[in-house]
Amino acid sequence: MDKLLILVASKQHLWINFMRMAIFIVMAWIGGLKAFQYEADGIVPFVINSPVMSFFYNKADETVVNDEGKKVREYTIYKNPEGKVVQRNIAWHKENGTYLFAYGLGAVIICIGVLVLLGIWFPRIGFWGGMLTFGMSIVTLSFLITTPEVYVPNLGGDFATPAYGFPYLSGAGRLVLKDIIMMAAGLIVASDCATRCLSKRRSTRLS
């Protein structure tokens, strides 16, 4: 057991670099998917309900009357389920600026992932990558407060819905909650880079 503990402890720098690579893979993959219609459509409920991001969309404040005669947010009428393409919905998203925003967001996410990865060789760059990862995670976790879709809705059925609303996370909510891991990871890689920068500075002064 002691040998295993010593082995794992002695390779800590490798595990931190592995964390950097993991963050990069997640960022590059998810950021790249923002260029595709289904992913761009999927983030609309998060962005359009966010008080700090909704201004990116042209129809963020629009409301309509649905088939049941209820006044609802317009975006709820034009949702595209993943894997389904409805031209009417796509046309609405183009007018909304959904796809243009998704392209920009995807590029930003990929850039943050690259900065984190570069921290393996360039700690100053990696520091900012880690801090940006932390900041992005704060924004993502705020969706737990602003986005209704992150909780199970009360849709009724043959019986009363037994568990809905807070704290019953929907599929979207469970994905958002996982960003707390990214938040911690961002701080860890940023801290490691800061330690390396300070250590290098001390060595320079001593020499």
Q: What is the mean pLDDT of the chain?
A: 94
pLDDT of 137-159, one tens digit each?
999 999 999 999 999 998 888 88
For the record, the structure tokens of 96 come out as 């909304």
Taking Cα atoms as reference points, which of 80, 182, 86 lies closest to residue 129? 182
With cut-offs at 50, 70 and 90, classify the pLDDT of residue 41.
very high
Tell me: pLDDT of 207 over 70. Answer: no
Task: Supply the pLDDT for residue 159.
Answer: 84
Task: Supply the pLDDT for residue 39.
Answer: 95
Q: Which residues contact 202 (CB under 8 A, 6 or more apart)?
A: none
More confident residue, 97 or 203: 97
Measured CA to CA, the distance from residue 28 to residue 10 in angstroms comes to: 29
Tell me: pLDDT of 12 over 80. Answer: yes
For residue 30, what are the CA distances in angstroms to 24, 71, 153, 186? 10, 33, 26, 16
DSSP classification of residue 64: E
Any idea which of 13-17, 44-48, 200-204 has the lowest mean pLDDT?
Answer: 200-204
Task: Supply the pLDDT for residue 205.
Answer: 74
More confident residue, 178 or 160: 178
For residue 22, what are the CA distances in angstroms to 1, 56, 188? 27, 29, 13
CB atoms within 10 A of CB 113: 25
Measured CA to CA, the distance from residue 132 to residue 116 in angstroms comes to: 9
pLDDT of 81-115, one tens digit each?
888 889 999 999 999 999 999 999 999 999 999 99
For range 38-58, the mean pLDDT: 96
- Percent of the chain at pLDDT > 70 equals 100
With cut-offs at 50, 70 and 90, classify the pLDDT of residue 67.
confident
Measured CA to CA, the distance from residue 153 to residue 72 in angstroms comes to: 15
pLDDT of 128-139, one tens digit each?
999 999 999 999
